[in-house]
Chains A and B, each alone.
Chain A
């Protein structure tokens, strides 16, 4: 099967981990000048395939050809030298170092072996400008948002003279404009003859840029398709291995129906200088309130104030009619609030604890050391959520760091759902999670609110917000612009509110 146009060919790749066969007999062919999406559910083996290709893992079997010659990279360093540039799923940057250094590390401009800092900075600025961002590159990278960090990682990968560019879920934290800027660059690189591998769970993005799609399922190769000839539903069923009828998709439409009654939590003109202008917000038991708006519009800031991560400097918070001030996350937990943060991928997992332990963590913390959750209960809980969220793990005792990225997120989500809070704040809970699991999560949210839990739901996905929320609060420029309820909730209305200029408020 020697393909003359093939730039990179992977054949018969297999890779096993203790207890898991991550890849068996997988193939992937990347041609010159194409964008190739690698698709599959969480845990299908996408990241593993990429890591085998780039020498992070040694393959158990199979062959890799670059330009027709067999290659065998033993480390990412070697893969880079062969012309394979990669952005891995877990954003890999050095937190303490500056943006400029993170972009240029390992290939800084030097004379006689000495670094030329000025040129390094300029090069970093240029690399970021290609993606349409202008920031102070001398600032420490960890001081920037996850979105910027993701862009920095991408800029780093683009800054190298590569033949193959691999992007493993590069857009999970980006807003539309940033994604568009990235796509523009990708199209240009494609025209220059690069082969690009793109992994994402956003179907829109897949269809927006890909020429071809390779689907993996459970570590096996399903097929390679022309993107233009593969309808969306077919792609989904190929990924899931079962027919997902149109009907089922429809059924998931508007999960939310009934609204809550009397609010138990009220924010009255609560704000914080520099991060949020004073706003009103109410939430009742059994209600899902969606917070909508662009990145940086104040959604996360609102959540942080409610959870005591930031202190409000004006306004009043009322819980059950009594004024309170929430000054710390610990206090908020005591009030039975839960917060599943946006950047949980990096922040919230305890890598060496098992899936079970990670799931019961919040529940145990709430109960304190006196209320030890018995082991049978723990196992029961873990099993319940592993099933409910379709978490792919050989067993509940697997250390969480060995799970695929999407499955780690499901575990974190399970942790907060299991703690059975009164108010649960979910910041982008479905990011990086496959289509099938998204529907499961939505069903679970509906069920939990049916049992009286209140959910503050933050999502950049309008469709999802519309489908799940009883009420939608729209924010723009760190300010609440309107509140939609009942029939008013629609993508069109939300977009309108976000886009409306200040003058016609």
Chain B
């Protein structure tokens, strides 16, 4: 990257540097940190957060917000467990079924937001209550996937063994299948954002919706599309959560939307839309994971310190964004008297 490219991407560069610093700090200070199994471990633990945050990044890039991601994870996790464990449905059908459900839910929210000009915050807040409520209506308790054979086969079996069958051996450890799903989704999102018309329209929409419409860009399709992507990603995150924990739980993903928003913002995406990177979000998630790890290593610290650290970091990044915008404002020769 040359100097100008760096200057243009200050938020991203700042995120990457913070991540690197935290990483260096942790690896110098804690002995167990710089071990491959450990590193892979905390990436895998947060894979579902990462997947949800990737979907959310698209929404935030258009200047919108999606508060329903955590709820969708909970609903997905419990309904998939129900279908497979209690109704003995073949995962080959159950998984596409919940994915279709996620797409429909995203379409519904997107349409409400676009056609009825409702604020995304409220629509997705309502959506969050709806899906979380449904999750508890479906089942109040968590459902452990069991490997019992019923009539010679178990529907749950393939879910339970997913992470032990699909994995890539690496040194003396291995990457679980769910983490691979995370990587694949990350790569697809990168390509969609940078190398498709849809992706660029997302940026345009966030940059200036009025202009985007006058430029003849498909505003409706793009706007509804990002909510579909977000719901689809959080459904996938719910599936990953189930596979990873071998347990369906209506409470899973509670409050996750806030972590996801934090990761996206720390990753350098402006809440006002138009600026940001998918890669930034991944780094944002990584930063959250490292902070969590550091606090775990510290031992003496209450785990709630993670929250405080994230809060401080978030504040720092918002201030940074403000600063950059103010500076842009000045150099662009603009002047607004208020």
Contacts and interface: CB of A to CB of B under 8 A. Distances in A.
B216 A76 contact: yes
Interface string A95-133: 111000100011010100111010000000000000000
B207 A92 contact: no
A93 interface: yes
Contacts of B8: 140
A110 B336 CA distance: 40
A40 B336 CA distance: 30
B172 interface: no
A462 to B, nearest CB: 24
Interface string B204-226: 10011011111111110000000
A156 interface: yes
A92 B215 contact: yes
A237 to B, nearest CB: 33
A365 interface: yes
Contacts of B203: 94, 96-97
B274 interface: yes
Interface stretch (A20-28, A180-188, A228-236, A340-348): A340-348
Given A95-B207, A329-B337, A361-B337, A79 B216 contact: yes
A77 B335 CA distance: 32
Interface string B316-331: 0000000000001011
A29 interface: no
Nearest to B208: A94
Contact of A142 (B191, B217, B332): B332
Contacts of B207: 94-97
A114 B191 contact: yes
B195 A304 contact: no
Contact of A343 (B200, B331, B334): B334
Nearest to A415: B337
B281 interface: no
A80 interface: yes
B270 to A, nearest CB: 9
A339 B204 contact: no
Contacts of A309: 330, 333, 335
A332 to B, nearest CB: 10
Contact of A362 (B195, B200, B337): B337
Contacts, number: 107
Contacts of A108: 197, 200
B208 A95 contact: yes
A218 interface: no
B196 A106 contact: no
Nearest to A362: B337
A143 B201 contact: no
B196 A92 contact: no
B295 interface: no
B14 interface: no
A493 to B, nearest CB: 30
A362 B335 CA distance: 13
A503 B236 CA distance: 72
B108 interface: no
B314 interface: no
A378 to B, nearest CB: 17
Contacts of B310: none
A467 to B, nearest CB: 27
Contacts of B204: 94, 97, 101, 105
Nearest to B209: A94
Nearest to A309: B335
B216 A77 contact: yes
A6 B319 CA distance: 58
Contacts of A96: 203, 207, 274-275
Nearest to A348: B336
B196 A88 contact: no
A341 B329 CA distance: 14
A350 interface: yes
Contacts of A329: 335, 337
A142 B208 CA distance: 12
B195 A115 contact: yes
A106 B197 contact: yes
B335 A143 contact: no
Contacts of B300: none
20 contacts: A75-B216, A79-B216, A90-B214, A92-B215, A95-B207, A105-B200, A105-B217, A106-B197, A106-B216, A106-B217, A115-B200, A117-B195, A140-B8, A156-B215, A329-B335, A329-B337, A343-B334, A347-B335, A348-B336, A361-B338
Interface of B: 8, 191, 194-197, 200-201, 203-204, 207-208, 210-219, 274-275, 328, 330-338
Given A76-B216, A80-B216, A110-B196, 4 more contacts: A94-B203, A94-B207, A101-B200, A347-B336
